[in-house]
């Protein structure tokens, strides 16, 4: 397959995968490959070494890197299998597999549910929803504004982790790259904590995830900045806060999309004892959640346009 045909195929599949996500959403966990990845990681975690530093470190790194390689190999086989189908069916099958690596509809719905609970004045329900679906921190003492902030932060961060990054990896390396990325991201989400049980076990997955997300987080920040401009939000504020606050989070990547969104909305988003993005802005309110989701949707559309442009450029490079 020529570079031109391959790149155009991938651009078409990305668009179709997003349509499938908008129409169907996520399947139940028992049918979802990302949930299966989590189950495999959970089983491996039970057998991880518990003492010392080197053994848990090596085990965690092997679990993340080895699992990603295995997933990539499986995805390569599935890719070859779908490639043997007639073209329309092959495109649909590949889009269906790619759709399982992204979750814009699920992210939007989870954020919207929190917004509805806050608008109804049910802060306790909003705390539960944001804890179940969007963040891993303790939310039991968060105020309504802090719940709104945590939701906006999650939308911004997951714009990269759950949407743009998998699509960029697919564009660069097809299904093997996209699904391997999702495995690495899942391993970090489960093991990348600094508690006693995962301090050394999670270092390998966390560092691998940092490396995998380095470029994608910054591309996502650019896309969100452009989305702010197109949506009539404060693009200058987004640029200013991005430059000032992107490195204030412990993660080398999460601060980039989060600070752009904080500046675009003119809000301050803080995690007590960890970071403060958009200092000087107002406290978030429920409607800011909708505004962040709108930025997410525009950024996704821009990703499709980027894929199409890259496919055209690839075709021109191959012309005599």
pLDDT digits (tens, 9 = 90+) for 41-90: 999 999 899 888 999 999 999 999 999 999 999 999 988 888 788 888 88
What is the average pLDDT across 223-242?
Answer: 97
pLDDT score for 133: 84
The least confident of 23-32, 109-118, 138-147, 286-295 is: 23-32
Domain boundaries, the chain: 3-318
What is the average pLDDT across 254-271?
Answer: 95
pLDDT score for 11: 84
pLDDT score for 316: 61
Quick one: tokens of 299? 């950024």
Does residue 230 carry a pLDDT above 60? yes
pLDDT digits (tens, 9 = 90+) for 92-144: 999 999 999 999 999 999 999 999 999 999 999 999 999 988 888 888 889 99
What is the average pLDDT across 131-158?
Answer: 92
Tell me whether residue 105 is exposed, middle or buried, using C-beta atoms within 10 angstroms of its C-beta: 0 to 12, 13 to 18, 19 or more.
Answer: middle
Confidence of residue 6 (pLDDT cuts 50, 70, 90): low
Quick one: tokens of 77? 């086989």
pLDDT score for 4: 45
What is the average pLDDT across 252-257?
Answer: 95
C-alpha to C-alpha distance for 173 and 165, rounded to whole angstroms: 12
Does residue 254 carry a pLDDT above 50? yes
Provide CB contacts within 8 A for 167, sequence distance 6+: 14, 98, 102, 178, 303, 307
Does residue 220 carry a pLDDT above 80? yes
pLDDT score for 242: 97
Provide CB contacts within 8 A for 43, sequence distance 6+: none
pLDDT score for 25: 86
Does residue 1 carry a pLDDT above 80? no
Confidence of residue 311 (pLDDT cuts 50, 70, 90): confident
pLDDT score for 314: 66
pLDDT score for 2: 44
């Amino acid at each position: 397959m020529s570079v031109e045909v391959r790149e155009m195929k991938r651009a078409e599949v990305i668009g179709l995968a997003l349509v499938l996500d908008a129409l169907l959403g996520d399947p139940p966990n028992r049918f979802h490959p990302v949930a299966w990845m989590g189950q495999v990681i959970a089983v491996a975690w039970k057998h991880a070494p518990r003492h010392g530093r080197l053994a848990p470190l090596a085990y965690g790194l092997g679990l993340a890197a080895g699992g990603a390689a295995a997933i990539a190999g499986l995805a390569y086989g599935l890719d070859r299998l779908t490639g043997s189908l007639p073209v329309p069916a092959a495109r649909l099958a590949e889009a269906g597999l790619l759709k399982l690596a992204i979750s814009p509809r699920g992210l939007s719905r989870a954020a919207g549910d929190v917004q509805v609970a806050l608008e109804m004045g049910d802060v306790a329900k909003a705390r539960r929803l944001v804890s179940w679906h969007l963040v891993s921190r303790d939310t039991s003492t968060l105020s309504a504004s802090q719940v709104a902030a945590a939701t906006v932060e999650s939308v911004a961060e997951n714009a990269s982790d759950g949407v743009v990054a998998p699509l960029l990896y697919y564009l660069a390396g097809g299904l093997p790259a996209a699904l391997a990325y999702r495995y690495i991201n899942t391993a970090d989400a489960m093991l990348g904590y600094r508690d006693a049980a995962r301090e050394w076990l999670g270092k390998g997955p966390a560092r691998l995830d940092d490396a995998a997300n380095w470029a994608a987080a910054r591309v996502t920040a650019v896309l969100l900045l452009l989305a702010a401009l197109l949506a009539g939000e404060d693009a200058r504020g987004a640029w200013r806060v991005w430059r000032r606050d992107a490195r204030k989070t412990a993660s080398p990547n999460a601060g980039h999309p989060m600070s752009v969104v904080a500046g675009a909305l003119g809000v301050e988003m803080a995690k007590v004892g960890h970071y403060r993005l958009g200092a000087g802005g107002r406290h978030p309110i429920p409607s800011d959640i909708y505004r962040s989701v709108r930025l997410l949707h525009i950024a996704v559309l821009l990703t499709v346009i980027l894929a199409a442009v890259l496919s055209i450029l690839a075709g021109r490079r191959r012309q005599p």
